[in-house]
């Protein structure tokens, strides 16, 4: 989701406040949504949408009432609920404080599923962005992250309640509609209207359930193991967009082969009006409208959003605080793709660049990756979740070795595919893959703020032919880590290399060495996050 370049940071800062806090836990709700079927009518002469939501839900415990998230009408915007029904019988409901409370006539036993219908209409305050694109064409784009689906769709608007979804959109026939899953109908209707039906059978979090409605130029960019990869761009950007988004074929093929089979049945790459640089909607990625110029400069962005199809969409964080399991994984997966294509030296340079970003961020805001003091969901989209989360995975790879890392990386996805996880779940999987306890590793790098700040001195004793090295951790709480050190001669040639086990605030080491070195290089291969 939304790779962190400078433009994305600016966009993140501008995001609106949300009604839920990161601590919002839908488990207090008695239901588990199984499937959403949204029938929507869109028009040109008004921003008012008309909706019918058919929601299949299972009761986790016996009950005769439940609640959905849906923004209520105020100041001329928001959603008005006209009717709620079950088995063609009207149900009692109340709608206030962005919650739709529904009462059933009888108690539903635990484990039983029912389907209720919600008829509603209104002008979305957010979530469905109705706006002209840069060419002046009217467009409609779903933009649900983090919990903005409830501004236009009645849902349990939290990533831990995943469901399959279908969208049936009726709109003027000069629009094309793209959505999650595969298209199962496109029919021209009387009155210059078109009905388009998209259906996804894989369980999704609401944050990535969307439609895009606009005049599009559409191209089949290629196929990966029978999965169609298409490009949807504004007609005025047809040539540039087709060229730029074609890179998705190669990217998808690498992830499909190296992580696990792609979890969806198609991949559409869509030029859109998303507020983010990119939004990883499942099988239906939206990119900002200036993402195309025909120069194929968006490979990193495309790789980041495609990586999310596995990490974030399929294996999702169970709680907002743990969004690094989405963003850190997508960031590091992009680095892994880049390493495979461009080499290890390129990966090291990318990690050094990210390390600089993490250190600068910590100077402004000292907080752990999983920061339970956060009150606004949007602020979890920060350098800690992206670059530091990626660095945690990179250091974990060095800690347990390539073979165990890749084993755990794939095993984590396989175990939580289609469901949700917390950081503790990742730790357990990686411990099983490596046979090592990783309690200290995860505690200090994920749940402790900051990173080591090192002061390293050395002196050479010519009489003893011995090198003495002193390592001081300047920050208040010491970390435990291996520090790779290279000592160089006057020609910058390596004369001694050591891995120093650092566990305390102050450490000293002595090594035999024939002559005095002239220079020192810390962490030459970019394996450690430090200042």
492: left (phi over 0), alpha (psi -120 to 50) or beta: left
Judged against a pLDDT cut of 60, whether residue 6 lies above it is answered with no
pLDDT at 480 over 80: yes
- pLDDT score at 182: 98
Instruction: Please state the rounded mean pLDDT for residues 361-374.
Output: 95
Confidence label for 14 from pLDDT (cuts 50, 70 and 90)? very low
What confidence tier does 5 reach under pLDDT thresholds 50, 70, 90?
A: very low
pLDDT tens figures, 101-159: 999 999 999 999 999 999 999 999 999 999 999 999 999 999 999 999 999 999 999 99
Report the CATH fold assignment for 216-313: Zincin-like (3.30.2010)
pLDDT of 37 > 90? The answer is yes
The predicted pLDDT at position 26 comes to 59
When the pLDDT of each residue in the chain is averaged and rounded to a whole number, the result is 94
pLDDT for the residue numbered 22: 58
pLDDT of residue 311: 98
Mean pLDDT, residues 15-22: 44
pLDDT (tens digit, 9 = 90+) per residue, 424-462?
A: 999 999 999 999 999 999 999 999 999 999 999 999 999
Please identify, in words, the CATH class of the domain defined by 316-446: mainly alpha
Residue 105 φ then ψ, to 5°:
-75, -25
> Does residue 283 contact residue 230 with C-beta atoms inside 8 Å?
no
Q: Are 140 and 284 in contact (CB under 8 A)?
A: no
pLDDT at 1: 55
Rounded Cα distance between 334 and 312, Å, is 14
Where in the chain are the domains? 31-205, 216-313, 316-446, 454-522
Parallel, antiparallel, or unpaired: how do β-strands 99-108 and 63-69 relate? antiparallel
With a cut of 70, say whether residue 70 has pLDDT above it: yes
Strand order through the sheet with 176-179: 128-132, 138-142, 211-214, 176-179
| pLDDT score at 9 | 36
Label residue 486 by pLDDT band (50, 70, 90). very high
Report DSSP letters for 384-406, one per residue. IIIIIHHHHHHHHHHHH-HHHHH
Q: Does domain 31-205 have CATH number 2.30.30.60?
A: no
With contact defined as beta carbons under 8 Å apart, do 165 and 35 qualify? Answer: yes
Let me know: does 179 contact 169? Beta carbons within 8 Å. Answer: yes
pLDDT in tens, 506-527: 999 999 999 999 999 999 999 9
Tens of pLDDT along 319-365? 999 999 999 999 999 999 999 999 999 999 999 999 999 999 999 99
The answer to whether 422 touches 318, Cβ cutoff 8 Å, is yes
Under a CB-based contact definition with an 8 Å cutoff, are residues 143 and 210 in contact? yes
Highest mean pLDDT among 3-12, 332-341, 368-377: 332-341
- Please state whether beta strands 316-317 and 278-279 pair in parallel, antiparallel, or not at all (unpaired): unpaired
Domain 454-522 class? Answer: mainly beta
Query: What share of the chain has pLDDT > 90, as a percent?
Result: 91
Gap between the Cα atoms of 174 and 271, Å rounded: 17
Whether 316-446 and 216-313 are alike in CATH topology: the answer is no
pLDDT-derived band at 8 (thresholds 50, 70, 90) equals: very low
192 pLDDT tier (thresholds 50, 70, 90): very high
Q: Does residue 13 register a pLDDT over 70?
A: no
């Amino acid at each position: 989701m939304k790779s962190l370049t400078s433009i994305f940071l600016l966009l993140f800062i501008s995001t609106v406040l949300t009604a839920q806090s990161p601590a919002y836990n839908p488990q207090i709700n008695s239901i588990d949504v199984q499937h959403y079927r949204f029938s929507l009518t869109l028009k040109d002469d008004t921003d008012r949408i008309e909706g019918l939501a058919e929601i299949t839900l299972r009761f986790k415990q016996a009950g005769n009432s439940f609640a959905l998230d849906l923004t209520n009408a105020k100041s001329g915007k928001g959603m008005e609920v006209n009717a709620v029904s079950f088995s063609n019988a009207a149900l009692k409901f109340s709608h206030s404080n962005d919650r739709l409370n529904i009462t059933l006539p009888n108690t539903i036993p635990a484990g039983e599923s029912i389907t209720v219908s919600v008829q509603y209409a209104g002008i979305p305050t957010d979530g469905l962005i109705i706006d002209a694109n840069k060419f002046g064409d009217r467009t409609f784009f779903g933009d649900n992250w983090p919990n903005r689906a409830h501004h236009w769709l009645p849902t349990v608007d939290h990533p831990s309640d995943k469901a399959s979804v279908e969208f049936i959109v009726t709109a003027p026939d000069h629009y094309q509609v793209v959505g999650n899953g595969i298209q199962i109908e496109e029919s021209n209707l009387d009155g210059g209207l078109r009905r388009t039906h998209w259906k996804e059978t894989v369980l999704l979090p609401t944050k990535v359930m969307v439609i895009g409605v606009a005049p599009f130029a559409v191209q089949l960019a290629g196929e990966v193991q029978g999965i169609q990869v298409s490009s949807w761009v504004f007609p005025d950007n047809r040539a540039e967009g087709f060229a730029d988004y074609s890179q998705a074929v190669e990217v998808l093929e690498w992830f499909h082969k190296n992580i696990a089979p792609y979890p969806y049945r198609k991949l559409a790459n869509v030029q859109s009006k998303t507020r983010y640089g990119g939004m990883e909607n499942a099988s239906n990625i939206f990119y900002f409208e200036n993402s195309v110029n025909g120069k194929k400069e968006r490979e990193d962005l495309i790789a980041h959003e495609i990586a999310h199809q596995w990490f974030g969409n399929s294996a999702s964080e169970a709680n907002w605080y743990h969004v690094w399991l989405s963003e850190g994984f997508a960031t590091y997966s992009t680095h892994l793709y880049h390493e495979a294509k461009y080499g290890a030296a390129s990966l090291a340079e990318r990690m050094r660049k990210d390390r600089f970003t993490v250190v600068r961020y910590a100077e402004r805001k000292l907080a752990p990756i999983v920061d339970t003091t956060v009150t606004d969901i949007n602020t979890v989209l920060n350098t800690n979740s992206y670059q530091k989360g990626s660095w945690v995975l990179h250091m974990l790879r060095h800690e347990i070795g390539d073979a165990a890392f890749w084993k755990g990386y794939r095993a984590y996805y396989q175990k939580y595919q289609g469901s949700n996880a917390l950081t503790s779940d990742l730790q357990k999987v990686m411990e099983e893959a490596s046979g090592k306890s990783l309690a200290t590793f995860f505690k200090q790098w994920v749940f402790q703020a900051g990173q080591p700040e090192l002061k390293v001195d050395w002196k050479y004793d010519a009489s003893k032919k011995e090198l003495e090295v002193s390592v001081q951790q300047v920050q208040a709480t010491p970390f435990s880590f291996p520090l790779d050190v290279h000592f160089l001669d006057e020609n910058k040639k390596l004369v001694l290399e050591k891995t120093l086990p650092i566990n305390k605030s102050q450490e000293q080491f002595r090594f035999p060495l024939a002559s005095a070195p002239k220079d020192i290089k810390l962490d030459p291969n970019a394996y450690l996050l430090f200042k």
